[in-house]
Chain A
């Protein structure tokens, strides 16, 4: 570094041109600057707009994708909320159904017990009635059988003790009391 500075100082003192000391051809430099400016103008005129347009489109696409992603996320969040609401509603309904089923089953059991109790009482009453009827029937049958036996015995006795004389007296009594 120190060597370069000493060379530059020596050149200034000997010839007096910095460009020459530095080895720069100022004509070439001007040409290169013009060429550069031309290049910049050409790029600014035809390349940059197309490039910027592509970049803008790309940016729009990215923005649209970002928006779509945001929308999707929002939709997902909404869907999750709806699902959660539905789940809550379903849980509430299930709880109601279970409670109703418990109440109905309790009521059904109570009704069945009451019905069974009534039925049992009715069966007992019917049985009592049947027994009472059977007792009455048996008494009647016994009474009838007794009467038949009495009648049979009376018939046997009357058949043996009856004679024409006694029969005549019975007939006259009948004729005397007869009514047509």
Chain B
């Protein structure tokens, strides 16, 4: 059985490898093998979240963007510029999700923070806190 490593150690190693230009496929294969061998597959969600954080520390921010419609290129550029300005990151990776339930606007999830400017949230605030 493999030596048990902390999640922080694992994610630091993976983040360093990715920044150094290692093959993503090899890294994912190695991580999957390690988790299966050490019977820690249930921690995959936490490891991904920690990895997002480690990458953001190294200037690479992965942003999950949810909107009701597909974003235009101009809007994507505006979002990337805003995120670079706000986080100081050198690289922003957008992962788009089309979610009609948000009605309109956008929700941006980055490690440790969230920007929710959706109409669904505003309506939800209206019903719960009586404010917009």
Q: Which of A158, A162, A163, A171 has the most CB of B within 10 A?
A: A171
Contact residue range for chain B?
20 to 34
Name the segment of B8-16, B19-27, B79-87 touching the other chain.
B79-87
- Within 8 Å CB of A14, what residues of B? none
Q: Does A27 contact B (CB under 8 A)?
A: no
B117 near A154 (CB under 8 angstroms)? Answer: no
Distance A147 CA – B130 CA, assembled complex (angstroms): 7
Compute the total of residue contacts between A and B using a CB distance below 8 Å. Answer: 80
Contact in complex: B105, A175 (CB < 8 Å): no
B103 touches A172 (CB 8 A): no
B residues adjacent to A (C-beta < 8 A): 67-72, 74-75, 78-79, 82, 86-87, 103-106, 108, 110, 113, 115, 117, 119-120, 123-124, 126-127, 130
A sample of 13 inter-chain contacts (CB < 8 A) reads A155-B120, A159-B103, A167-B68, A167-B104, A167-B105, A168-B71, A171-B71, A171-B75, A174-B106, A175-B117, A177-B117, A178-B82, A180-B113
CB pair B67–A167 under 8 Å, yes or no, is yes
Contact of A155 among B71, B103, B108, B113 (CB under 8 A): B103
Q: Which of B104, B110, B130 contacts A170 (CB 8 A)?
A: B104
Residue of B nearest to A144 (CB): B127
| A175 and B106 contact, CB distance less than 8 A | yes
Contact A171 B117 (CB under 8 A): yes
Q: Which one, B104, B127, B130, contacts A162 given CB within 8 A?
A: B104
Q: Are A164 and B115 in contact (CB under 8 A)?
A: no
Q: In the complex, what residue of chain A is closest to B105 when comparing beta carbons? A: A170
Cβ-defined contact, A171 with B113, below 8 A: no
Contact across chains for A151 and B72 when beta carbons are under 8 A apart: no
